[in-house]
Structure 1
Amino acid sequence: MLSRVMTGIEDIRTFYARLMAANAGSRDPRLEAVFAEVPREAFLGPGPWRIVAGNGKITTPSADPAHIYQNVLVALDDAKGINNGEPFLHAMWIGKLALRPGEAVCHIGAGTGYYTAVLARLVSPGGTVTAFELDAKLAELARQNLEAYGNATVVHGDAVTTPLPPSDVIYVNAGVAAPPAGWLKALRPGGRMIFPWRPAERVPLAVIVTRTEKGFACDPFMRSWFIPCVGASVAGPAAKIPTRDQAARSRSIWLTSDKAPDRTATAIFGDVWFSSRSLGGRPRN
């Protein structure tokens, strides 16, 4: 006869954190510690919760937080298609950014603040997170949820039109046709930005950008899909839209004010363009 073992939420959260760290492939032991420390349920509202599954949604059997310590998407606003994000994906992205204590982070598309809290813990002590959220309701929830995180500030506003603070890391959780020039300019030397690049419906990629002495290096490293970023998700009529192969071959990003597009251009969006040439290297064929 099988006996039933009752597991406390602490054990469940610990195992969830181990899964996050393993999927991230990061050598930073703080990543596991932070995912174990930050309570996901505190950012999702009272349960039961709506879980995105396939083309529909299912409701958890109860308000037991054990149900949401899995790699599941939890709906935040059904009507707008907004969810809390896939934990495995975010763990991988955050691990790839290799955040350090003391760094300044800008989080664009903060939702209700769960991953903002993770970022805030990883840059402590001495670091700060400025979180932008365009939706008024979500921004207010994020503000309330992050009150216990003294180094995180929520801005209810448009990160596309509002100047970003100088940042060591920019973490973008909304799909853009191209990153606005202001985002690139906000990166400090050595700064990193990760964003969902969606120049066309058929081209959903995640890209990490690093500001070096020679310019902005970029690496499209995986497929990714996020809800569109208002004000930055539609390319203008004069844009050069890349094919999936061209987008994947992009190795640097340039401001047209610094350098005019040349034959290596894989995509052009007004004041920003992508090149197949790595910084100081040859074009990627």
Structure 2
Amino acid sequence: MTRRAGIEEIRGFYARLITAASKSSDPRLERAFEAVPREAFLPPGPWRIVVGGRHVDTPSADPAYLYQDVLVALDAAKGINNGEPSLHARWMAAIAPASGEAVTQIGAGTGYYTAILSLLVLPTGTVTAFEIDERLADAARRNLAPFEGVAVVHADATGTPLPASDAIYVNAGVAAPPAGWLSALKPGGRMIFPWRPSDKIALTLLVTAGDGGFSVKPLMPSWFIPCVGASEELKPLRLPETAAEVRSIRSVWRTADRAPDESAVAVYPDVWFSSKEPGGDR
């Protein structure tokens, strides 16, 4: 008779697959995904899996159904999901949280990826997780109670000063990051967010704070619900017209520090994106 795998074995294999997709060489990432039970951060099953924009209910409340590379609905009416694990693994590999670092997460949901981030900065690091939805913030606090160094803040992160951060991890679509988010990055700090300047553009951007400014590296496509306060509310002064322009971005500037020039790809009142490297000719 074939032995049925236990949930720990299933979770371990899931963690191996997810982190292999991230191409990370950090073994801590696999261990973190293996250690955090996804079902502990979701409402009671059966669950609603999101596939190709459609919802499919799991046959039962067996948590084995959760250990796939799929989104799981948290609030189907609002389009709020527990996001795709492989994308988050790739993001975490890109920002590479280190032991002792301070991470700020914007859009905690119910805290699943917050928990994984917290394990990556142990033993002395911290995660400050902002969540604008009060119900989700309360759930995240309950779910994250066993995890060290985690604080959940029920607030609009676009209008609230962020703590000084080694990494900022944004889980909502942003037309332009508030200037305050850039200011919160420590030297060498990284920010990753889904750039959504229009309905047709959904691209992950990795920002790094250096001596010469804030460099930008475009990464993989990423679709998230809009970030309240940093999406439709922002009125662009210029937007990219072609895919080549979108992929050409190499830096982001606060307009208070430097006015937009001929290298501008996208311009907003407080920040703008440039095709030049931060240390390029002015």
Same structural fold, with TM-score higher than 0.5 when normalized by the shorter chain = yes
Q: CA deviation at 1:129?
A: 0.3
Q: Does 1:164 align with 2:162?
A: yes
Q: Which residue of 1 aligns with 2:248?
A: 249
Q: Find the residue that maps to 1:245 and give its secondary structure.
A: helix
Q: Which residue of 1 aligns with 2:260?
A: 261
Q: Find the residue that maps to 1:91 and give its secondary structure.
A: helix
Instruction: Report the RMSD for the aligned CA atoms in angstroms.
Output: 1.3
CA distance in 2, matches of 1:60, 1:167: 38
Q: Find the residue that maps to 2:87 and give its secondary structure.
A: helix
Return the match for 1:39 from 16, 19, 37: 37
Q: Find the residue that maps to 1:183 and give its secondary structure.
A: helix
Q: CA deviation at 1:221?
A: 1.1
Identical positions, percent: 60
Counterpart amino acid of 1:121?
A: L
Q: CA deviation at 1:46?
A: 1.1
Counterpart amino acid of 1:266?
A: V
CA distance in 1, matches of 2:234, 2:46: 42
Runs of 4+ with >3 A deviation: 235-238
Conserved? CA contact 2:235–2:268, under 8 Å: no
Q: Which residue of 1 aligns with 2:191?
A: 193
Q: Find the residue that maps to 2:162 and give its secondary structure.
A: coil
1:85-136 residue CA offsets vs partner (Å, 9 max, x unmatched): 0001000001111110000000000000000000000000110000000011
Conserved? CA contact 1:235–1:269, under 8 Å: no
Counterpart amino acid of 2:258?
A: K
Distance 1:147 1:268, change over 3 A: same
CA distance in 2, matches of 1:237, 1:14: 45
Q: Which runs of 5+ in 2 are unaligned?
A: none
CA distance in 2, matches of 1:70, 1:130: 27
Q: Which residue of 1 aligns with 2:182?
A: 184
Q: Which residue of 2 aligns with 1:230?
A: 228
CA distance in 2, matches of 1:35, 1:164: 26
Taking structure 2 as the reference length, the TM-score comes to 0.97
How many residue pairs were aligned?
281
Q: Which residue of 2 aligns with 1:9?
A: 7
Q: Find the residue that maps to 2:169 and give its secondary structure.
A: strand
CA distance in 2, matches of 1:233, 1:213: 28
1:205-261 residue CA offsets vs partner (Å, 9 max, x unmatched): 100000001100001111111000011112644521113321210000111111111
Conserved? CA contact 1:111–1:139, under 8 Å: yes
The worse-fitting range, judged by mean Cα deviation, of 11-20 and 48-57 is 48-57
1:59-104 residue CA offsets vs partner (Å, 9 max, x unmatched): 1111111000010110000111100000010000011111100000
Taking structure 1 as the reference length, the TM-score comes to 0.96
Q: Does 1:240 align with 2:238?
A: yes
Q: Which runs of 5+ in 1 are unaligned?
A: none
CA distance in 2, matches of 1:237, 1:168: 29
